[in-house]
Every structure is written in C-alpha cells, then in structure tokens.
Amino acid sequence: MQKRKLGKSGLEVSALGLGCMGMSYGYGPAADKQEMISLIRAAVERGITFFDTAEAYGPFTNEELVGEALAPLRDHVVIATKFGFKFGPKGEQAGLDSRPEHIKQVAEGSLKRLGIEAIDLFYQHRVDPDVPIEDVAGAVRELIREGKVKHFGLSEAGVRTIRRAHAVQPVMALQSEYSLWWRRPEGEVLPTLEELGIGFVPFSPLGKGFLTGKIDENTTFHSSDFRNIVPRFAPEARKANQALVGLLGKIAERKKATPAQIALAWLLAQKPWIVPIPGTTKRHRLDENIGAVAVELTADDLREIDSAGSKIMIQGARYPEELEKRTGL
C-alpha cells in the first residue's frame, strides 16, 4: 500500500483509509460486530493504516467497534474521530454542540470507547454557528497540549472557517464530500488547502455507493438507510445519473478495472495530499477499493474523464435542505 502525507503536518497514512460509519449506522441495520472486526483487521493486513469513526455513528457503537478491532494493532494505525453533536435520550441527534466544555467531554468519552491514550485526529463534525471557531480551535489546542489529541481537523467547513481555525490551531486535515459527482470543493476549498498545507480526506468518494455501478433506479434501500431521504437517490435521479457510471465503466473496461476503482483512482490523481476513505462492510469490496491504488490514470485519461464528465448534469441535491445548511460555513 502506498503512503501519503496529509498536508504539511507530516502525518503519514495509507493512500486509502477506511470509513467505518456504515458498519454501525447510516446504511441500514448495523452489521455483525465480529465480521466487522475481522474486516477492519483484514484492512490493516492489506496495508490500510487510517480509520475514520465518530461518536455520532451509532451513536457511540462505532467507536467501540473500531477500538476493539484495532486494540492489538494500535501502534500501526491512525484513528480519526469527531465531535460536535448533542444527543437526545434515545441516542437521536439533537442539534450541534461545539462548546469548549462539550468538546472536552466528547474527547474523554471517545478515548474510553476507543481504548486509546490519544486521539490521532479530532475533527469538528460540522461547524456550529453558535460557537466561534476560534473557541473550538482553542479547546482542541488545549487537548493537544494535554496529550489527549494529536491533530485537529474540520469537516464540511468553508474557507473562512478553515482560515480562522487554522490561525488559532493548525488544521491538519479537512474531511468533506468529494467525488466525480460532487466536485464543489475544487472551486475554493482545494486551493485554500493547498495554500495552507492542509490535507484533504474525501468522504463518500464513491457517491454513497452509486459510482460502483451496482445501484440503479430499481434498487431498494432498507427503511433505516440514509439514502432514502437524499434527493440524489430518488429513482428518477438515479436513472438520470447512470450516465456518469457509464463513463466510468467505459474507462474501467479499457483499464481492466472496475468503475469504483476508476472513481477512486481519479481522486488519488487530483492531489498527492488527498486520502479518500471509502467505507464498506464486505471483504470483496475492501479488496476492490484497495486495488484502485494500483490503477494509473494517464493525463489523457484524466482529460477524457473531465471532458466527458463536464457534459453530464448530475440530477438531485446531495443532501436534504436542512442538512445542507450545516455545510460549508
């Protein structure tokens, strides 16, 4: 497995990470715990050293899963988790909360659930408009000084927030959605990250599964699957968006690869400090995703993807309106 450094921080991780959310939350019922522990450990055996979780995934159960799976491998891996939500009595999300005292409480809880002495990368999960980002960065800076956190990250933040946070405590990585069907970060975010020396960790690099080519307008999702409320996954949008999968399939055939591998290879080719974190609950998909690191896209391939992709209008918003409001602040 190739290695990459996230920005100027010098934090070296595998070129692909593993997003663990879907093992516990978001895409239907939680998967079998022992199977997921085996999958996470198989990922380490295959060279993956970067694992992504959050207290909100479950909530709490995903951190416990990741902690148990990686306990015997702690010295070989980088674990990222997140703060920034509050939860109701039944574990439901009850809004945002990035008050400094809450950040410190979350850190203590995450350390216990993960069974670790320090969080390698601690992201603000979503920007909290009620708490100045300087206060958030200051709280994480204190946790870093106490040895409880190693690096500070932001998720789905806009460039003004990134700059203001970075001035207080250097931001090591930004995690946001980025893929061939969501390219908005290319406008302002990527140039800002390059200027400041901040790494980029794209989540949903396979378009929440759509870019694998295994989802069409007839696919049905479990009632607890997040995609049921995503406009981009309405049946008519899925039908229209097959054009992008068709483009990936054409390139994949030529490269003796899969559409998913082309989508990931395209991301890896954008910048050397980009580390996608595709998630999966299946061993064969893990192997397929790892295979993307060996797929080389030439300058001509990338031009073809850009040229053909620019003619495809993606249908449907990526989030329901109320969730989109939490991003890019």
Start-end of H helices in 211-309? 235-240, 242-255, 259-270, 283-291, 299-309
Tell me the per-residue pLDDT of 66-106, one tens digit each, with 9 for 90 and over.
999 999 999 999 999 999 999 999 889 899 999 999 999 99
Residue type, 137: A
Q: How many domains does the chain have?
A: 1
Residue 117 lies in a domain: yes
Locus of tokens 């408009």: 129
Residue 22 lies in a domain: yes
Which tokens sit at 44? 């380490």
- CATH number at 33 reads 3.20.20.100
DSSP-derived pairing of the beta strands 18-19 and 93-96? unpaired
Q: pLDDT class for 22, splitting at 50, 70, 90?
A: very high
Residue 251 lies in a domain: no
DSSP 9-22: G--EEESS-EE-GG
Residues 40 and 20 sit within 8 Å (Cβ to Cβ): yes
Other CB atoms within 10 Å distance of the CB of residue 23: 29
Alpha-carbon span 119 to 135, nearest angstrom = 19
Which tokens sit at 78? 């980088």
Specify whether 57 is catalytic. Answer: yes
Residue 82 lies in a domain: yes
Residues 111 and 151 sit within 8 Å (Cβ to Cβ): no
Residue 164 lies in a domain: yes
For 196, the domain range is 3-206+273-295
Residues 242 and 212 sit within 8 Å (Cβ to Cβ): no
The 3-state secondary structure of 168-222, one letter per residue: HCCEEEEEEECECCECHHHCCHHHHHHHHCCEEEEECCCCCCHHHCCCCCCCCCC
Closest CA to 212 of 253, 259, 166: 259
Burial label, 310 (beta-carbon count in 10 A; 0-12, 13-18, 19+): exposed
Closest CA to 84 of 175, 2, 209: 175
Which tokens sit at 60? 């709490």
User: What is residue 39's predicted lDDT score, i.e. its pLDDT?
Assistant: 98
Tell me the per-residue pLDDT of 298-318, one tens digit each, with 9 for 90 and over.
999 999 999 999 999 999 999
Residue 211 lies in a domain: no
Tell me the per-residue pLDDT of 118-177, one tens digit each, with 9 for 90 and over.
999 999 999 999 999 999 999 999 999 999 999 999 999 999 999 999 999 999 999 999
DSSP assignment letter at 32? P
Residue 310 lies in a domain: no
Residue 137 lies in a domain: yes
Q: What pairs with residue 4 in β-bridges? A: 13
Its pTM stands at: 0.97
Q: pLDDT class for 326, splitting at 50, 70, 90?
A: confident
Angle at 70 between CA 69 and CA 76, to 5 degrees: 155
Q: Which of 25, 57, 123, 178 is catalytic?
A: 57
Backbone angle region of 112, left / alpha / beta, with phi > 0 → left and psi within -120 to 50 → alpha: alpha
